[in-house]
Amino acid sequence: METCVVCDGELTELGTLGNRLHLRCRQCGSDQSVLIEPKPKGRIQMTEALARAASQDAGNRSMKKSNRTSWSREDYNEAVQEFNRLWPEVTP
């Protein structure tokens, strides 16, 4: 349990906002907040950069499979498809 930095009193939880837990002291009424460590996730969090890297790999895989040294339209499509699968965000 967190204690007040001002008076060492007991803190009540007001709630979390973003990655901060907001607290109020029962004794002096001062508001404080502590940073909450994000919970470790079992799987890797997908990011746009990661999706791009993976789609690059997919394109290269497709290229090597067909013994090409540069991307064909087919390889490019393969990469785009993989990117859209991993990062299905609609871009305007």
Taken in order 71, 77, 81, 84, the sign of the CA dihedral is: positive
Closest approach, Cβ 4 to Zn ion, in A, equals 3
Q: Where are the alpha helices (DSSP H) in the chain?
A: 48-65, 73-86
6 vs 53, which CB is nearer to Zn ion?
A: 6
The backbone torsions φ and ψ at residue 16, rounded to the nearest 5 degrees and listed phi first, read: -105, 140
6 vs 46, which CB is nearer to Zn ion?
A: 6
Q: How far is CA 6 from the centre of its chain?
A: 34
Which of 57, 60, 58, 9 is CA-nearest to residue 32? 9
Site residues (vs Zn ion, CB under 5 A): 4, 6-7, 9, 25, 27-28
Closest approach, Cβ 33 to Zn ion, in A, equals 14
4 vs 63, which CB is nearer to Zn ion?
A: 4
Closest approach, Cβ 31 to Zn ion, in A, equals 10
